[in-house]
């Protein structure tokens, strides 16, 4: 059977600030929960991509296309990564600052309900 042999990579464990494994059973947020809390999707994807991986140029803010281009599994850590909500909030703020008002309004319209 001819073909390309796949490369398997083990992603590091993601822990909370107490170095305990993240778990929905323990009340940790899923991607959907973070979006419902008001985080920008691109910021969440960018932040999670950096958990356990360090780009060669130490950049922190990437578009999805830039992440795909820059990702190299050789730069993944074997140590557990800590999910830092403060860092995620900072990154989310950077994404919000880079968006124009219409983009921000559009992303929030589905979450805003006005009662008259």
Residues catalogued as catalytic: 24
Q: In 3D, which of 41, 81, 32 has the Cα closest to residue 64?
A: 41
Q: String of b and e for 75-84 (b: at least 16 CB within 10 Å)?
A: ebeeeebebe
Q: In 3D, which of 114, 99, 102, 115 has the Cα closest to residue 39?
A: 99
């Amino acid at each position: 059977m001819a073909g390309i042999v796949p490369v398997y990579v083990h992603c590091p464990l993601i822990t909370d600030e107490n170095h305990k494994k993240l778990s929905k059973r323990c009340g940790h947020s899923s991607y959907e929960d973070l979006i419902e809390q008001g985080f920008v999707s691109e910021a969440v994807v960018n932040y999670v991509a950096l958990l356990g991986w360090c780009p060669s140029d130490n950049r922190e803010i990437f578009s999805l296309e830039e992440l795909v281009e820059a990702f190299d599994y050789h730069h993944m850590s074997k140590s557990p990564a800590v999910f830092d909500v403060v860092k995620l909030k900072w990154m989310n703020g950077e994404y919000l600052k880079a968006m124009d008002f219409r983009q921000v309004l559009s992303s929030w319209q589905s979450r805003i309900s006005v009662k008259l």
